[in-house]
Amino acid sequence: VPVLTGIRTLYRCLPDGGQGDVHPVPAAALAWREGRVAWVGPEADLPPGWRDEPREDAGGAIVVPGLVDCHTHLAFGGWRADEFERRILGATYLDIARAGGGIRATVARTRAASTEALVARCERHLREMVALGVTAVEAKSGYGLSVEHELRLLEVYDRLRARTPLRLVATLLGAHAVPPEFDGRSDAYADLVAEAMVPAAAARGLAAFCDVFVEEGAFTVAQARRVLRAGLAHGLRPRLHADQLSAGGGAELAAEVGAASADHLEHVGPRGIAALAAAGVVAVSLPLASLYLGQPPLPARRLIEAGVPVAVATDFNPGSAPSCHLPLALTLACTLQRMTPAEALKGATVFAARAAGLEAEAGSLAPGRPADFAVLEAESVEQWLYHFRANACLRTVVAGREAWRRPVSV
Ligand code: NIG
Ligand code: FE
């Protein structure tokens, strides 16, 4: 159906304006052709040429640009429910990691999993995501931690492209943790990432971004700088896991290397915020991870006041964020980070697209842009994120093609 009418409000989420400017069109219609938006505006103004086209009535639902989950660790083996319980009983994320659990536990399970099994698992999660209105996903490697295994995870993402309607962006996160083979030799491992992994991933066109986990127990700012500069030299744009468990200069480094985004940032300070603002880096908030690890919420209000665009993503992974429910992350961005529902929506559409390098392909609804959108059963974006439900999505469309529709209940 190339024309959708009866839309209570369509949120265009254009790049201009502030965090809360989502460009709503009340009583809207949307038309598309060959995968791209042909017309969007008030239904009363629908050009005569479009009136005779086959149309579907949205029945008063709202329409938003396809949601963009701009930070996930999609491919991993096993789960870590045991650690979930240990943290509840008082152990910290770092205690568990130091005892050989955490990321290393998942690395062992991921290396042991067959490529076919990893692809099948990812495909299942992507299906859950598309049913929630998500149309684009950034997926990081980071549970292989050797040249061979990191490339294998990136290949999993490459193979998924033929098996999902979603737009998929891959990120090399070889510097996620120091693998057991390099115990006590983190510099040598960072060099391996910079000198072997980055060139190999880039040469084979398997990644768009290079990411590093800057944290006590993971990588230092100096090591991250080496890895990210190597990425830049090979055409991989930098992103960073920064200031998640402590303030460690990650935000400042993101600004220095011109990163597309700095992610987590629960502990970012005034200097980090100023640096992000000056460099135009997107702050990616991950409220599920803050919640699961009991971190203070990201200071969204201070970032927004400083002029930093704030995106919202799931961080889907088996440790700090074992859920790929982006609308849940948005509701948490409202309650924990004090973002308004409109601000959260902008953070999961146009600003998320920017963090994932998809600004030309996703995040906004305007003529000429890809027809990626979600039809949501809610009377407004405020109602959607306030009345949290398992799934409010009625229909997901990617490049003009239906990727999911809620089954008709009897
Ligand atoms: O983004 N902080 C580092 N990496 C992940 C957690 C990975 C894991 O615990 O397996 C994160 O929170
Ligand atoms: Fe992460």
State yes or no: pLDDT of 361 exceeds 70. yes
| Surrounding residues of ion ligand 2, Cβ less than 5 A | 315
Residues having CB within 6 Å of any atom of ligand 1:
73, 102-103, 106, 213, 241, 244, 289, 315, 317-320
State yes or no: pLDDT of 385 exceeds 70. yes
Most informative mutation of 86, 241, 263 for ligand 1 (most atoms within 8 A of CB): 241
Residue 397 pairs with which residues in a beta bridge?
373, 402
| Distance from residue 279's CA to the centre of ligand 1 (Å) | 25
Structure tokens given for 140 = 């990081």
Consecutive H or E run containing 405? strand 401-405
| Distance from residue 107's CA to the centre of ligand 2 (Å) | 15
Rounded-to-integer distance, Cα 405 and Cα 395, Å:
4
Question: Which atom of ligand 1 lies nearest, measured to the CA of 264?
Answer: 1
Q: For 370-378, what is the mean pLDDT?
A: 98
Residue 139 sits at φ, ψ, to 5 deg, of: -130, 130
Nearest by Cα to 64 from 402, 363, 370 = 363
Q: Which amino acid is at 317?
A: N
Q: How many CB atoms lie within 10 A of CB 246?
A: 14
| Distance from residue 16's CA to the centre of ligand 1 (Å) | 32
Confidence of residue 58 (pLDDT cuts 50, 70, 90): very high
**pLDDT tens-digit map of 162-215:** 999 999 999 999 999 999 999 999 999 999 999 999 999 999 999 999 999 999
Which bound ligand lies closest to the C-alpha atom of 143?
Answer: 1
Structure tokens given for 70 = 């701009």
- The percentage of the chain sitting over the pLDDT mark of 90, rounded to a whole number, equals 96
Confidence of residue 33 (pLDDT cuts 50, 70, 90): very high
* pLDDT at site 171: 99
Question: Which atom of ligand 1 lies nearest, measured to the CA of 245?
Answer: 2
Rounded-to-integer distance, Cα 134 and Cα 349, Å:
10
Supply the residue whose CA is at minimum distance from atom 11 of ligand 1. 320
pTM of this prediction? Answer: 0.98
